[in-house]
Amino acid sequence: MEKIVVKGVKELKGEVDISSAKNSILPIIAATILCSEPVVIENTPKLEDVEVICKLLSGLNCDVDISNVNNRLTINAKNIVEMDANAELMRKMRASFLIMGPMLARFGYCKLSLPGGCNIGSRPIDLHLKGFKLLGAEVIMGHGFVEVIAKKIIGNRIYLDFPSVGATENIMMASVFAEGTTIIENAAEEPEIWDLARFLNKMGAKIKGAGLGKITIDGVQSLKGITYTPIYDRIEAGTFMIAAAITNSKIKINGANEEHLRPVIEKLKECGVIFSDYKNDSVIVDGRGPKKPLDIKTLPYPGFPTDMQAQMMSLLSTVEGVSVITETVFENRFMHVAELNRMGANIKIDGRIAIIEGIPKFTGCQVKATDLRAGAAMILSGLVSEGETEIGDIYHIDRGYVNIEEKFRNLGAEIYRIDI
């Protein structure tokens, strides 16, 4: 067991390099199942979730090799076998369910344990299964598992009741080899959807409209091996933007795509943060000015991301006045409120609405990372707390942030990891 210890209050300065996007790399790794030639993924982030999905593919007889020198991941799924995926690994991470689409496309069969992940609310797989059925698959639900069988994948028009990222990705991958054309309507528009489509198209797929809400996939016969670099992690970049704001600091962030981060940037500007010198996916963030309270509603992209809600709540807890956050995506994503209140925050919950009254300062204490993004919020709050903050359950943080303590230390923060 380990803890992260943060000692506030420190001004940050310098620059930070953002890693590749966790939410891009996971579906891209799953998509390598579709190809019988080696695929090389550059700048692969060293994350717990990446390790889990790589072990999952290894268990299916894929050759998986990652270089510790240059973070180059090589996957060869030529000898992949049609078998049940490791149940324990499936329960560790929800994104493991993304192997179902490519397995169905390549073998016409897949059986998986129901997925796990952060306990942030209900994330049913019904939209994934609805898409598979419309592509011609039979779906069998058992006690703790789901099985899909298809003699042939046939293109169809699929309307998603909600623009689910995972369902959009899974259906898109399942459709790559389909007979005819598949159209996904009300598809998720997140940048990670576009990135997956770009990866598949580079391998030889024919996908149009990714990131625009309506995706068209013309089936192809096969895909070829390629070398690919995923997009930067917009959530990690947004976390460091908030770090500059909450610590009243000025830092440079390398790996911040302005277009992908537009909803976060605009809200931080409204709060009083200044952004300048956009160049080659880098930006200077100046959070030294006075801050204003905000009203925020989380929404599917291009709305304000639910994955930034906890971090923004940390910031707004330090801003004089009353802010309001409405969480519309996940019904159980306020678990970090109790931890922030332990540190002195004044936050009240009414259903899916959080009412935040700014306080002069946080006080360091023992808290826990209730989920991945909540863990980041605890670190941000610790940076501006009087005294020392000890954060437990940090395995959540390791699922989505690469060397987060080192990156903050390089900016001048006093943060380290201890064994307990």
Cα distance between residue 389 and residue 160, in whole Å:
43
Note if 271 is an active site residue: no
Q: Which residues contact 45 (CB under 8 A, 6 or more apart)?
A: 19, 20, 22, 25, 71, 233, 402
**Cα–Cα distances in Å, from 241 out to 11, 110, 236, 251, 292?**
14, 41, 9, 8, 16
Per the CB < 8 A criterion, the answer to whether 333 and 309 are in contact is yes
What pairing do the DSSP bridges indicate for beta strands 39-41 and 227-228?
Answer: parallel
Per DSSP, 179 falls in state: B
* 124 labelled binding-site residue: yes
* 348 labelled binding-site residue: no
* 23 labelled binding-site residue: yes
Quick one: which of 334, 330, 290, 343 has its CA closest to 313? 334
Cα distance between residue 282 and residue 87, in whole Å:
41
Residue 95's H or E segment, with its range, is none
* 126 labelled binding-site residue: yes
Specify the residue for token string 């277009």: 259
Q: Which entry of 35, 54, 62, 118 is annotated as an active-site residue?
A: 118
* 72 labelled binding-site residue: no
Per the CB < 8 A criterion, the answer to whether 279 and 254 are in contact is no
* 265 labelled binding-site residue: no
Q: Which residues contact 335 (CB under 8 A, 6 or more apart)?
A: 119, 120, 370, 371, 374
* 322 labelled binding-site residue: no
Residue 37's H or E segment, with its range, is none
Coil, strand, or helix at residue 341? helix
And the tokens for 271?
Answer: 């709060």
Cα distance between residue 268 and residue 312, in whole Å:
9
* 409 labelled binding-site residue: no
* 127 labelled binding-site residue: yes
The binding site comprises 22-23, 94, 123-127, 307, 329
Binding residue ranges for phosphoenolpyruvate:
22-23
Active site (catalytic) residues: 118
Residues making up the annotated binding site for UDP-N-acetyl-alpha-D-glucosamine are 94, 123-127, 307, 329
